[in-house]
Amino acid sequence: MKAHLSLPTATAMTVLCAACAFAQPWLSARDLTQETRGRIERFTITPQGEIDGFLFADSQQVYLLSDLARVAGAVVRLGDTVIVKGYRSPAAPVIIALEVRDANDRALVAPSGPAAPKTAQSAETPQTQTRATTLKEKVRTTLYGPVGDVTGAILQNGELLRLAPQTTNRAEILLRPGESIEAQGRMLSTPYGPVVVAQSVSPASER
């Protein structure tokens, strides 16, 4: 039986309330609760080389809060069909996960249950390698944080790009689907796949 992920509802509600500040005031947590089934196409990886969510095959983004993200790599795999219980952010097209369960809906626990088995702790410290890189490509899909902040993009060539913390806000404006960009930063190789961590993003030159 495959392990499951869950976290306290209060943690997710803190993020949800922050997201609601950017949305219509009449939205409530009950309105946003949902279950979504999908096949995991790829993980989203932070500039530190850790998982913070995944994309379904239909490009739906799922964001994992820290209690789930730190063990996700040990309990889910690319290609798995899973059920996500959580909230759709009112500020961006992203689902904030409370639970991740297997396709047969097994190992269902209350949100206050344990986050994951102890054997999953090895996922906390991924080994990474880096090298400098520059790329020019079009944006295919924008990636968001739980309160609607732009955190990166999937590019047309399939590469995952994430913004380094010091990257300027202008980069967020450029990471729109169809925009051609030039990014400079470092290529991070992780057990979950490569990620380009952009130190700067600018419109791609036409020459």
Residue 77 DSSP code: -
* pLDDT at position 1: 47
Domain ranges for the chain, please list them: 5-123, 129-203
CA 87 from centroid of its chain's CA atoms: 14
CATH 3.40.605.10 fits 5-123, yes or no: no
- Alpha-carbon distances, residue 193 vs 58, 63, 164 (angstroms): 19, 17, 17
Q: Which residues of 1-28 are buried (b: 16+ CB within 10 A; e: fewer)?
A: eebbbbbbeeebbebbeebbeeeeeeee
Coil, strand or helix at 48: coil
The secondary structure of 166-203 as a DSSP string is TS-THHHHH-STT-EEEEEEEEEEETTEEEEEEEEEEE
Q: What is the rounded distance in angstroms from the CA atom of residue 203 to the CA atom of residue 103?
A: 42
Task: Tell me the H-state helices in the chain.
Answer: 9-20, 29-32, 66-75, 170-174
How would you write the pLDDT of the chain (207 residues) with one tens digit per residue? 455 555 554 555 555 444 444 444 434 555 457 889 999 999 999 999 999 999 999 999 999 988 788 778 878 889 999 999 898 888 899 999 888 888 887 643 334 444 444 444 444 455 567 889 999 999 999 999 988 899 999 999 999 999 998 876 677 789 999 999 999 999 999 988 899 999 999 998 754
The distance in angstroms from the start CA to the end CA of the chain is 55
C-alpha 177/C-alpha 166 separation (Å) is: 22
Is 139 within 8 Å of 153 (Cβ atoms)? yes
Q: Which residues pair with 188 in a beta bridge?
A: 130, 195
What single-letter DSSP state applies at residue 137?
E
The CATH number for 129-203, chosen from 3.30.230.10, 3.10.20.30, 2.40.50.140, 2.60.40.10, is 2.40.50.140
Fold identical between 5-123 and 129-203? yes
**Coil/strand/helix, residue 154:** strand
Q: What pLDDT does 127 receive?
A: 59
Q: What does pTM read for this prediction?
A: 0.77
Buried/exposed 126-161: b ≥16 CB within 10 Å, e otherwise: bebeeeebebebebebbbbbbbbebbbbbbeeebbb
Q: What is the pLDDT of residue 128?
A: 65
Question: Does residue 16 sit in helix, strand or coil?
Answer: helix
